[in-house]
């Protein structure tokens, strides 16, 4: 799950501005990790 979040975040970094992509990566990554942990 975390790998998918990292890949999506990396792609978003190339497609969108750094601020937006970073926020999306943070939110998505946190949600994926939380779901994976629990």
Residue 7 to residue 14: CA distance in whole angstroms: 11
Tokens, residue 29: 């990554």
Specify whether the CB–CB gap between 29 and 12 falls below 8 A.
Answer: no
Q: Write down the domain spans for the chain.
A: 2-37
- This model's pTM is above 0.75: no
Q: In 3D, which of 33, 37, 38, 35 has the Cα closest to residue 5?
A: 33
Q: Quick: pLDDT tens for 3-31.
A: 777 777 666 656 556 677 777 778 887 66
């Amino acid at each position: 799950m975390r790998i998918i979040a990292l890949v999506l975040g990396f792609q978003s970094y190339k497609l969108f501005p750094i601020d937006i992509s970073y926020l999306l990566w943070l939110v998505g990554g946190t949600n994926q990790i939380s779901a994976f942990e629990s």
